[in-house]
Structure 1
């Protein structure tokens, strides 16, 4: 997989839809043991949902971590003291190698771990960094078999594109089954709650599914073709035509079914 470059403006074009799963995840996180609590948001992106943590835990000291300079630059607008007396900061970190340097009452990750190969192997070190009674919680897209990804892979492996794009997209095993996550977290001594939800997003505008995926799943292909604008436009056009057939528009908009996987793992107090 090619490490993608990120475009905060493109990602935020569907901010409302993308923020809803994070709210649903936080709704299942129990009370935190610290006073004030210490929170890490791993893969914070542009910081808009990281800021929501301060609404739930007003006194918390929160650090958002991300490996994208562009995302961190955008996130800085949320940095500083929070209205409840806490603080929100952002720092560079690669989730593939990040290890907690202090105890956290909550380590949370929103739509990030599917980009981190071998993330299951990181769970022991992350949980070692969770305080007794604290929680590790995450959600990831669980739709690698959906048309928007299947068609992208099919096109990338076609005769025209396979030499340039056949190796750049996310692998089909980038997210494990719910049972795998439940078993791993439970064996690490946590009370684990794992579930799936399928959202039916009603998107507006011209080619809205393409616009959505330009902010996320398509980023590796866009990055790989960044030095060849003509080829990049040709690939996007072919992919757009496939998406139009797979996700037809209706008078009220275009429906994008989107399944996500959630996990909340709490350590013994």
Structure 2
């Protein structure tokens, strides 16, 4: 997959940061010595960690050089590094491993989640938020249009474009035997959007990206036009003329035994 676009991602920064803030609010730590932001993106979530744990050594990691450069500009005092979450290991056991809207891009959660949890210091916390929107019209339409000519051949297997998250209860079962506590929940956000084009712009920075970038440049406008047409059918104007974008997200907070 081509690199991420920090500017496009930040166009909806308030909406993207809200679940990050709500995840952090449920972290049961008074203080922390070492905090890691996995998949830190442009640093919006890392900034929350710096504010919450003022005395901690906070670091961020991501697999996107442009995202890391944006994060460094935002938080020049924080150490950011390039890494792949699938193979990431901390040099020292963190008190908090925080992953906001990142792990849905990493396969093998049956192995990944226990490995991250085991990397914590005693009493440490793993805090994860992931979109759970594969069944939403935004994501169904991506796959439906990708199955049509002339786009299907270039896009290929749509199921390979994003790792499937597990059912929420499965994460509880992975963590509960070794945890002092596990807190799991779903929230469905309702984001007012100005138009179908605004919804397309939102998902272009994340879920739609791997579909479009597999297409030759000549085929991309047609795919996006058909996708936006289907979005307009799926999301009808509300009383004020805006569209409500339902966005389900799952949250997992687990604390190791002391």
TM-score norm. by structure 1 comes to 0.90
1:19 aligns to what?
A: 17
The count of aligned residue pairs is 257
| Residue of 23, 46, 61 corresponding to 1:50 | 46
**In the alignment, which residue of structure 2 is the partner of 1:231?**
219
Partners of 1:220 and 1:155 in 2: how far apart? 13
Match of 2:37 in 1: 41
Per-residue CA deviation, residues 127-148 of structure 1 (Å, 9 max, x unaligned), is 2221111100000001110000
Pick from 3, 26, 29: which aligns with 1:28?
26
1:29·1:135 contact (CA, 8 Å) conserved in 2? yes
Instruction: Quickly say closer, same or farther: Cα 1:103–1:177, change in 2 above 3 A.
Output: same
1:175 to 145, 153, 165: 165
Once the two structures are TM-superposed, the CA of residue 173 in structure 1 deviates from its matched residue by: 6.2
How far did 1:240 drift? 0.8
Partner of 1:69: 65
Structure 2: stretches of 5+ with no match in the other structure: none
Deviates more, 1:134-143 or 1:229-238: 229-238
- Tell me, in whole angstroms, the C-alpha distance in 2 between the residues paired with 1:252 and 1:62: 43
What is the root-mean-square deviation in Å for CA atoms of aligned residues? 1.7
> 1:254 aligns to what?
243
Q: Distance in 1 between matches of 2:53 and 2:75?
A: 16
CA distance in 2, matches of 1:8, 1:168: 24
Q: Partner residue of 2:193?
A: 203
Gaps of 5+ in 1: 82-87
What displacement does 1:162 show? 1.6
User: More deviation in 243-252 or 210-219?
Assistant: 243-252
2:252 maps to 263
